[in-house]
Amino acid sequence: MGKYIFVTGGVCSSLGKGLAAASIAKLLEGNLLNIRLIKIDPYINVDAGTMNPYQHGEVYVTDDGAETDLDLGNYARFTNCPLSRDNSITTGQIYQEIIKKEREGRFLGRTVQVIPHITDEIKQRIRRVGDEDGVDVTIIEIGGTVGDIESVPFLEAARQFIHDVGKANVVYIHLTLVPTVSNGELKTKPTQHSVKELLEIGIQPDILLCRAEEPLNDKLKQKISLFTNVSEEAVFSAYNVPSTIYEVPLIFAQQKIDRIILTKLNITSKATNKKIKQWQNLVHSYISASKSVKIGIVGKYLELHDSYKSIFEALVHGGMKNNARVELVKIDSEAIENKKDISDVFEKVQGILVPGGFGQRGIEGMICASHYARTHNLPYFGICLGMQVMVIEYARNVLALFGANSTEFEQQTTHPVISLLEEQQNIKALGGSMRLGRSPSFIQNGSKLNAIYKKPKIYERHRHRYEVANNYRDSLIAAGLIISATTVNRELVEAVEWDNHCWGIGVQFHPEFISKPDIPHPLFAHFIGACLGNV
């Protein structure tokens, strides 16, 4: 029978449940266990696809095209767990399925209720992942905080797992806050109240992760243990790491959290310590790197770091590959739109990256950044919208197609070099209607892209609606823009490059989604290398 770990949170959101779940999974994988991860989001949205990045951070896309919470990105970066739409559960999905079944008469006239129908559907979706062949442990992160009305059905389903599979097969981990007050004292009362709320639902946590600015001393652990009925050895410090999030598994390993989990689940350890040692060497190498590089991120959602989470982390991975620390210089694209001279903005960065996005705001600033990089021979990496910006800038300033634009930003533009495909023209439902998920691209021989990937066919994930207009493709090529990758039969443009430039590449896909610290995506590794002057 499979084993299940439920990770819940208390006091406030954004304490790091996703990082904690991913770090625990990393350690369990180090014990040679086959792990699966599930993220539950209590919002009524069916998925994260239509949500504002300022509210919920980036949208992480899986191979099968699911638009999910950013925590699945953490799972992917820290572990080898396969991820698909089955690993993301929302309230919207659950109720949508239950209402569909009710309309079809599949409940045989019974009154449809939260218990048992909603909770049964939740459990069925969790078991669908946990019952896969060879899976040892499934970790389920329940979003939000204990006490939120939206989370109640999911917590109730988690409670019922004890009765369904037995207490020996379930562990409850609760992440809570131990804040520091003005005199520097750590206070345990919020943790006590958080556990009390969890107990009122019927869940006694087995393990506490105490989020604090510094490690807890033995006296505080004893106090927390006494008031929460959690054994002292199962009270762990989840304190602030000094340099990088990739240190989190290491501080958990030092406290032997995986030993406690395996004991509670009655699993014999198969640990070799080899994997965690490799991770430790990787992290320490990055922290102690003597080189550093500044990358200018020209975007429109920069006020919330999580809006570009996967891109920021992939840049760090590229730094790890080049034994260099990466400093992110966030540049608001809207703020540079009307500047006559932007050289002061970019003179201290070694490269520019323009990420994806939607809507007209800040686009002209991105076009200015692309123009500056092209004309000043500064390494430039355009991702999705960042590639489209390259095409618009090239059309305006090299082809002299004044007013060239995307129909996303100017429907009546005289030169729509970026536009919708014909089959996209009349789509009204925005959710799930873009080109989503993993698909092949074919690389042109002799291109920089070919030298980086070292193969003619690649598979990358997409999340976009607008494309380079094919009726402008020949003119762009004739003017010197390199079309370095296309879809099957050269139907759509997948990547472009600047000729006679140190490193100017734009891709329509999202390479950041498959980058890991120990396996950096080659595009990010090569881009950072170019910024350091290594390629």
* Residue whose pair of structure tokens reads 């493709």 in the numeric block: 473
Catalytic residue among 415, 462, 501, 510: 510
Burial class (CB within 10 angstroms; exposed 0-12, middle 13-18, buried 19+) of 14: exposed
* Residue whose pair of structure tokens reads 């959710």 in the numeric block: 431
Neighbours of 86 (CB within 10 A): 17
- Token output for 72: 């699945």
Length of the chain counted residue by residue: 535
Backbone angles phi, psi at 42, to 5 degrees: -75, 0
Task: Locate the DSSP E strands across 106-203.
Answer: 137-142, 170-177
- CA 284, CA 243: separation in Å to the nearest integer? 10
| 197 carries an active-site annotation | no
- CA 133, CA 446: separation in Å to the nearest integer? 44
Describe the chain by its helix, strand, coil percentages, rounded to 5. 40, 20, 35
- CA 437, CA 429: separation in Å to the nearest integer? 18
- CA 397, CA 400: separation in Å to the nearest integer? 5
The per-residue b/e assignment along 253-272, b for 16 or more CB within 10 angstroms, e otherwise, is bebebbebbbebbebeeebe
| 334 carries an active-site annotation | no
Contacts of residue 411, defined as CB under 8 A and 6 or more positions apart, other chains included, come to none
- CA 56, CA 41: separation in Å to the nearest integer? 11
| 384 carries an active-site annotation | yes
**Are 329 and 378 spatial neighbours (Cβ–Cβ below 8 Å)?**
no
- CA 265, CA 467: separation in Å to the nearest integer? 50
Please count the CA atoms within 13 angstroms of the CA of 437 that sit on its side-chain side: 9
**Are 305 and 316 spatial neighbours (Cβ–Cβ below 8 Å)?**
no
- The SS3 assignment for 90 reads strand
Cα separations (Å) of 232 from 202, 324, 371?
21, 40, 59
Q: Give the ranges where 398-509 is alpha helix by DSSP (H).
A: 448-453, 473-478
Catalytic residue among 81, 368, 384, 531: 384
Catalytic residue among 210, 512, 526, 531: 512
- Token output for 208: 């506490």
**Are 140 and 7 spatial neighbours (Cβ–Cβ below 8 Å)?**
yes
Instruction: List, by residue number, the catalytic residues.
Output: 384, 510, 512
